[in-house]
Amino acid sequence: MNEMMGQVIVAVLASNAVFAFIQFIITRHDTKKNMSEKLRILEKDGLRTQLLLLILMCPREQQEIMTIAEHYFGKPPKGLDGDWYMTSIFNKWLLNADIAKPEWFDSDK
pLDDT tens digits for range 11-37: 767 777 777 777 878 777 777 777 788
C-beta separation of 42 from 52 below 8 A:
no
CB distance 51 to 85 below 8 Å: no
More confident residue, 73 or 84: 73
pTM of the full structure: 0.69
Instruction: Using pLDDT thresholds of 50, 70 and 90, give the confidence band for residue 50.
Output: very high
Domain ranges of the chain: 2-96
14-23, 55-64, 71-80: the lowest-pLDDT one: 14-23
